[in-house]
Amino acid sequence: MKIMAVNAGSSSLKFQLLEMPEEKVITSGIVERIGNDNATFSIKFNGEKIEQELPVLNHKVAVELLFDALIKHNIISKLEEIEGVGHRVVQGGELFKDSSELTEENILKIESLNDLAPLHNPAHVVGIRAFKEALPNVFQIAVFDTTFHQTMPEENFLYATPYEWYTDYAVRKYGAHGTSHKFVSDRAAELLNKKDAKIIVCHLGNGASLSAVKNGKSIDTSMGLTPLEGIPMGTRSGNIDPAVFGLISEKTGKGISEILNDLNKKSGYLGVSGVSHDSRDIANEIEKGNHRAKLALDIQTKRIADYIGSYYVLLGGLDAIVFTAGIGENAANVRHDIIERVKVLGTELDPELNQLRGENEISKKGSKVKVFVIPTNEEVAIARDVLRLQK
């Protein structure tokens, strides 16, 4: 059966059509700059890529554009061939413990969580409603970034703030990248041939998070109420002393929203290096002897090592560390620096294997803790959930 995996952003619509259960990609693409006269639409199929620039006023138009392209290029002969749709949704709060069918009641619940993900959930709902209107009789579900982390115990997800902040305003750690963490940790357990494996997943991209996974369940993760908590990223600061807000406000006159913008969009690699948010640019600058670029990377890898050490204790040992996402899958230097920092745990990296691309074990034979690179595939994970819930 054909299943569509959808990721709707505030001004974008990313999609992938898969043949399931074979998990074969039929087509994929993205509509960007939705709401503008110069939006772009690209679609890949049969080894070719077609791109065009055109006005796309809203997500409904973007969905119509996608469906027209599927028919025009003979990717499918009729829309009825699509038997399921899975939508990525960032925030499920405590309302959703699993992926869920997109009934009107559940769509309203997703909207009720807008305060927890104001940049993401409203955009997801716009995309969901556009697909529901176009395919009213097709089974559609929401797959949440947060549900995989709903297995965290209270002591791991609660903050030591006034308890009513949690009961009244839902302030707690939710985590993110859950679909990726589940996909990658499940695959690592397969490679280890150990269902009760103790695994640390390092999802390292422009956004980055770690998780501690035991018996296939997340017991802790680095991102919190929002993606700002945790390790430094491309433009995010990661953890800081909250008193910084008061100091910066007093010194600069900036309000909370301005400071949050600085911490979300002007910090991390970009803030420390002053050069770029891109790890490739950082690596190039390091080769040129740029101290601040090296410092930006060192701060990040140090904080990642801190989390790995903490999760090692939490898990009561460790079977594997897994790297995934853009940086985790492609930046051998970053993997090397992190594993060097935690080698006291028994990690030994094979320099040659570390240079390989794709899925590989990159630790030396005999390493006490195995190290893997496993490419993530959130679209496949979404399609799997559609298949699972539709049965």
Active site residues: 145
Q: Is 357 marked as a binding-site residue?
A: no
Q: Is 354 marked as a binding-site residue?
A: no
Q: Is 204 marked as a binding-site residue?
A: yes
Can you give the chain as a three-state secondary structure string? CEEEEEEECCCEEEEEEEECCCCEEEEEEEEECCCEEEEEEEEEECCEEEEEEEEECCHHHHHHHHHHHHHHCCCCCCHHHEEEEEEEECCCCCCCCCCEECCHHHHHHHHHCHHHCCCCHHHHHHHHHHHHHHCCCCEEEEEECCHHHHHCCHHHHCCCCCHHHHHHHCCCCCCCCHHHHHHHHHHHHHHHCCCCCEEEEEEECCCEEEEEEECCEEEEECCCCCCCCCCCCCCCCCCCCCHHHHHHHHHHCCCHHHHHHHHHHCCHHHHHHCCCCCHHHHHHHHHCCCHHHHHHHHHHHHHHHHHHHHHHHHHCCCCEEEEEHHHHHHCHHHHHHHHHHCHHHCECECCCHHHCCCCEECECCCCCEEEEECCCCHHHHHHHHHHHHHC
Whether the link from the prior residue into 21 is cis, omega within 30° of 0, is yes
Q: Is 88 marked as a binding-site residue?
A: yes
Beta bridge partners, 24, equal 19
Q: Is 335 marked as a binding-site residue?
A: no
Q: Is 206 marked as a binding-site residue?
A: yes
CA distance 142 to 331: 32
Q: Is 328 marked as a binding-site residue?
A: yes
Q: Is 73 marked as a binding-site residue?
A: no
What dihedral angle (degrees, nearest 10) is formed by the CA atoms of 57, 59, 63, 66? 60
Q: Tokens representing 80?
A: 């009825």
Q: Is 329 marked as a binding-site residue?
A: yes
Q: Is 48 marked as a binding-site residue?
A: no
Q: Is 280 marked as a binding-site residue?
A: yes
Q: Is 330 marked as a binding-site residue?
A: yes
Q: Is 203 marked as a binding-site residue?
A: yes
**Residue stretches of the annotated binding site for substrate:** 88
**Residue stretches of the annotated binding site for Mg(2+):** 7, 378
**Residue stretches of the annotated binding site:** 7, 14, 88, 203-207, 278-280, 326-330, 378
**Residue stretches of the annotated binding site for ATP:** 14, 203-207, 278-280, 326-330
